[in-house]
Amino acid sequence: MPSLISSEPESHGVEEQVTAALAAVHGFFIPEDSIMLARAPGRLDVMGGNVDYTGGAVLQGLLREAVWAACQSRSDDTVRVLNPGASCYGWTTSFEVSLSALRDEDAIQTICNAEEGSFWGRYVLGAVYFVISQFEGTGTKGLNLFLHSDLPPNKGVSSSAALTIAALKAISAAWEIPLSGVALAIAGQWVENVVAGAACGIMDQAAIVLGKDSHLLPLLCQPCLPSPAIALPDDLCIWGIDSLAPRSTTDTAYATARAAAFMGYRMLCEKEELTVIADKSSGIPRWVDARWNGYLSNLPHPEFRLRYEYWLPERLTGSEFIERYGEHLDPFTTIEPSREYPVRAAVRYATEENFRVRMVSSLLEATSWDASESCLRLIGKILYQSHHAYTECGLGSRKCDDLVERALKAGFPGAKMTGGGAGGVVAILGRASDRPILLRLAEEYALDCGAAPHLFEGSSDGADTFGIRTLQFKAGEGWVCF
């Protein structure tokens, strides 16, 4: 029978994760100069996936698995990037370019399209470009940037956002530029939207920057308004199991659901005779109106149900929308004339998921967990509702449905698909004492699928709490953290 990956918690200490990796690439860094080390964990989307781009509330946890970025300033204008772990996926493992070659987004895309398996360079070179373009006087010297990761890609746990944030944090530190907090999260979203072409909201980046070990981060994505993190009780766990169905924010299903939400927003604005204008204050292109400020999730879900649900078409082809409404108010998706879009379900999700997230956040904050079994079951039911709402938007997944049903049958109070949907990781809610049941469930799933799913358990601090560590070379010891 296949054995599970990561069924036991592992250390995420600096020495264990990084210094051994650096020893294997001796010669890449200059021993005389210090290295700036950053760490960005993956995130577990407990609730709110797909309302970050509609301005909704989300609830996010952090994983133990992470991306590490070690950066050192150079005396010339060369940028060298080394990512040995990329070879595991058949990807390019290195880049070497001059700073002058990173003149704009198109130039970076050209560099990263030159060879199959080089796409990940958009996130890293995009981070370099962001810093030199936004901070005057930087970028006169190059960089050595080394990457190490135990966060698996294409699982819906924000590996791309973690890569971007780790790179931004380490690069800015090497160039002695303060970059943290919401500004760092927004920078990460800009790189993903503008350079990498990923139609993501701010949720992933903000959670990875601002989150805390064993906490859930409530966040209102307008554009990035965090609330105090909610500590998880010792006996409450939220695990993640890979469904073995890959996930990506560039997939057709995700792009279709996102476009449908913006189509619905455009239709509602016209119905209410609301003028929509470009938001000149935003570094990331978006549109605003006088009632909802450009955020569809600001539409209260009772009002949606009463006034708009059955006015909106259940489905609408791209050609029908273009003929009737013309302009599409999302710069990061394109309307395909022959495609059908689930407009009503996408708008319903934007309003109702926002309500569900706020309800769960309130329950977690207010409940006395020494007598909370009924509350735990209520939260589980809400998670299950959220899971089914993905299917209504066209983001369902047979494998994720199977895992959710297995979890509920095993007695867990709740489970749901995470991230952008259409595959990826399933989050499972339970007590710490339920871990043996979880392992048995995962083993049975592995046996039936013929492959071992990654089991995500354990948490860690976000990029800001981890901060920047300094590594220095010591003869006989190698790179040592200070």
CB 127 within 8 A of CB 169: no
Question: Which residue has tokens 């590490």?
Answer: 68
Q: Does residue 9 surpass a pLDDT of 60?
A: no
Name residue, tokens 């990940």: 120
**Mean pLDDT throughout 90-119?**
95
Q: Is the dihedral of CA 158, 164, 168, 170 positive or negative?
A: positive
Average pLDDT, integer, range 262-278: 97
Element at 265 (helix H, strand E): helix 252-271
pLDDT score of 369 more than 70: no
Q: Write the DSSP string, 388-451.
A: HHHHHTT---HHHHHHHHHHHHTT-SEEEE-TTSSSSEEEEEEEGGGHHHHHHHHHHHHHHHTS
The topology under which CATH files domain 14-232+460-481 is: Ribosomal Protein S5; domain 2 (3.30.230)
Render pLDDT for 24-34 as a digit per residue (tens, 0 to 9).
777 899 999 99
If pLDDT is split at 50, 70 and 90, which confidence band does 366 have?
confident
177, two tokens: 């530029």
**Range with the lowest mean pLDDT among 113-117, 249-253, 403-407, 463-467?**
249-253
Over residues 424-434, the pLDDT tens digits come to 999 999 999 99
Query: 375 or 108: which carries more pLDDT confidence?
Result: 108
- Residue 297: its pLDDT value, please? 97
Assess contact for 151 and 157: CB atoms under 8 A: yes
Using pLDDT thresholds of 50, 70 and 90, give the confidence band for residue 137. Answer: low
Mean pLDDT of 328-345: 96
pTM: 0.93
- Give the pLDDT band (50/70/90) at residue 191: very high
Residue 67 has a pLDDT of 97
The residue-averaged pLDDT of 346-359 equals 96
The answer on pLDDT for 480 being more than 90 is: no
Q: What mean pLDDT is predicted for residues 45-72?
A: 96
- Residue 459 confidence (pLDDT) above 80: yes
* Model confidence at 260: pLDDT above 90: yes
pLDDT classification of 16: cutoffs 50, 70, 90: low
Give, in degrees to the nearest 5, the angle at Cα 58 between 52 and 62.
Answer: 110
pLDDT confidence of residue 14:
56
Query: What is the average pLDDT value for the chain, to the nearest integer?
Result: 92
